[in-house]
Amino acid sequence: MDNNPNTMEFSVKKKTDLKIILMRIGIIAACYLPFLIITFVFIQLFIVIVPVFFLIFTYAAWFFMRFTHIEYEYSIISGDFSVSAVYNNRQRKNLITTSIKDMTAVVPYANSEDYISNSMRSVQKIFYYCSDPENEDLYIGIFQDPKQGRCAVIFNTSKKFVRIMKFYNSQNVIVKDNFLI
């Protein structure tokens, strides 16, 4: 990353919680249980069919397992805020991109009710692009999306990241003083 004041990137890994662990167990069970069933049914053709099915089900497990290792990358490039998901450090998907100056509010998530209670009532879609919903450095940003309508995004941030956002939208961005990062 360069020291350009118009560009900043920030990334966090999604916390592995019980839901992710159960998802991984379910993927492994869903991929290898059919393999075991086919192995017992076609025991006579063990040499030919079983290795082929083992490779197919192993690939399927790998394919679906990569969606359980998620890293969110937040970036500001010339006044545009974007969130991307990086799956298994290999595949990147741009989730949202919006202009910071068009955001109606960017406030700390912990006490967002104090700042934007009436704005939150009209939100049609909430995106949780954060490492952990209980993190202290979460912020919420409200914006208008042409496809989804009025949206809110909950994301991790740092003090420097929020200050750059405040540079682009000083009326609607609130910077808190106590950041962990």
Could you read off the pLDDT of 37-53 as tens digits, one per residue? 777 776 666 666 677 77
Would you state the pLDDT for residue 111? 73
Model confidence, pTM: 0.73
CA dihedral of 75, 80, 81, 82, whole degrees rounded to 10: -70
Least confident of 53-57, 101-105, 120-124: 120-124
User: What gap in Å lies between CA 37 and CA 51, rounded to an integer?
Assistant: 14
pLDDT range class, residue 82, cuts 50, 70, 90: very high
Model confidence over 95-117: pLDDT tens digits?
999 998 988 888 888 776 766 66
Question: CB of 92 within 8 A of CB of 84?
Answer: yes
Structural domain boundaries of the chain?
7-13+74-168, 18-67
Query: 18's torsion region: left (phi>0), alpha (psi -120 to 50) or beta?
Result: alpha
